[in-house]
Amino acid sequence: MDEAARNRLAAWLSEAAGAPVAITGMGLLSGGAVQQNWALDVTRGGAPERWVLRTDNVAVLAVSLPRTAEYALLRAAHAAGVAVPEPLFCCPGREVTGAPFFVMRRVEGIAAGHRLVRLAEDDALAEAVGRELARIHRIRPPRPDLPFLGEPPADAHRAFLAAQRAALDAAGTPRPVLEWGLRHLERSAPPPAELVLNHNDFRTGNYLAEGDRVSAVLDWEFAAWGDRHADLGWFCAPCWRFGALAREAGGIGRREALYAAYAAESGVAPQHERVLWWELAATIRWAVVAADQGGRHLKGDTSLELALTSHIVPELEMDVLRMTGIA
């Protein structure tokens, strides 16, 4: 961000905050193939504060919600008692920095999945995750403050299958293993369940942890109405265990501990067979996204992260074959 944009940002923040804001430090945080996160050290009315500015990357995924929507989701989650960074201000226009953005309070913690799975010594963090997921799932339609989520699907399972098949067809590359996995899901789909707000990317690596406490749930740009078991399945999928495959709850604890904490907080016991259905769905969904990111790289959005992500597709296809009893 150049000096002119930084000056415009300081002026905009001062107006939004209702007090003079001076930016004393600013740096791009690591990670973020889809969005950019900037650490802001500021003074507001002379008092120091630490914020994060979240904005679009150069290229974004078509299924990613805009920053204004993500800001509204943070506000809803914050009001529901979910551990999220406090949302502060939102700029829907491009005139300040060149893209819409929002500002939230900075929260401390470890996000790196490979570190969290090494640090996990018991089930405490997995239990904390279960409680946070339960709080997210208290948000249910209808919600006039979240109109961008659209009408809830009549059947989240059928909606998922249709979306993934459409994505594969649009990509144009034959993916017989993923098609096989979708057919398996179609033949084994359970009846529709109660609809709740799904984070849709709640996994180890997308929350901050301090010890055995979740300090913040991050990255809400894929949220949607759906089956509560979809979030549990995504969290437990083998691809998000960072090598700690025996600890089925995101590589940080036992699946049973996650379920028990979720049930205690929500009053709804997870149905294991439904979670397994959504674990397979999660594996296929991540493979579709990974293949798409490789396609973005080949089409000119040259990025080492995007290129490397596409190389996990064969591993995910093997997971699909194992989960469907073929391999």
pLDDT of residue 293: 83
pLDDT of residue 283: 98
Whole-angstrom distance, CA of residue 112 vs CA of residue 211: 13
Phi, psi of 308 (to 5 degrees): -70, -35
pTM: 0.94
Asked if 208 and 105 count as a contact pair (C-beta separation under 8 A), the reply is: no
User: What's the CATH architecture for 3-105?
Assistant: 2-Layer Sandwich (3.30)
pLDDT of residue 264: 98
What is the SS3 assignment for 94? coil
**Weakly modelled stretches of the chain, pLDDT under 70:** 31-34, 58-62, 297-298
Q: Among candidates 159, 157, 168, 182, which has minimal Cα distance to 288?
A: 168
Asked if 257 and 127 count as a contact pair (C-beta separation under 8 A), the reply is: yes
What single letter denotes the amino acid at residue 206?
N
What residue ranges do the domains of the chain occupy? 3-105
Q: In sequence order, which ranges of 218-271 are alpha helices (DSSP H)? A: 228-236, 255-266
pLDDT of residue 310: 84
pLDDT of residue 61: 61
Asked if 114 and 42 count as a contact pair (C-beta separation under 8 A), the reply is: no
Answer whether the bond into residue 92 is a cis peptide, omega within 30°: no
